[in-house]
Amino acid sequence: MNLNFRTIGKFCFLLVIIGFFMPMACQMNGFQLADTFMGMKSTVNGLLLYVLFLSALGGVVIGVLIALKKSVPVVVDWIIIIACIGCGLAVYFGALSDNTIKLQSGAYMILIGWIAIFAMQIISLIKKEL
């Protein structure tokens, strides 16, 4: 197996996936929150949450491919990272930034995952592991 910082960073997407299944806000996990947004005619926020989850799954798949020594362009890493983080931040600033909504453990798990993913990607760039 080829475990370098780039690969480890992709497996940090598991933190995002785990966080999505935990209570994120209003005692709801990511799927329940997305469904609530869809029911409130806030379809964009619901779709953004689903893209966040799917991009995290894609990140794990990329990590498996890299660990199996398959060639995956670095630009794919950045697209998945930007999609995952961007969608989450768009939902946060667009719908959850209200002071009445308190974030819960799942949201913080996702944040930790994002930080780890981004740090590992930057370290792999600096070490020229790409």
* Two structure tokens written together for 21: 């299944």
| Structure confidence at residue 130 (pLDDT) | 54
For the chain, the structural domain boundaries read 5-126
- In eight-state DSSP terms, residue 129 is -
Please state the pTM of the whole predicted model: 0.89
For CA atoms 67, 115, 77, 12, the dihedral sign is: positive
Cα 10 from chain centroid (whole Å): 10
Pairwise CA distance, residues 81 & 13, whole Å: 9
* Ordered per-residue pLDDT tens for the chain, 130 residues: 456 888 999 999 999 999 999 999 889 999 999 999 899 878 899 999 999 999 999 999 999 999 898 999 999 999 999 999 999 999 988 876 666 678 899 999 999 999 999 999 999 989 876 5
Helix (H) or strand (E) holding 37: helix 30-39
In 3-state terms the chain splits into helix, strand, coil percentages (rounded to 5) of 75, 0, 25
| Structure confidence at residue 58 (pLDDT) | 96
Start-to-end CA distance of the chain, whole Å, equals 15
| Structure confidence at residue 129 (pLDDT) | 61
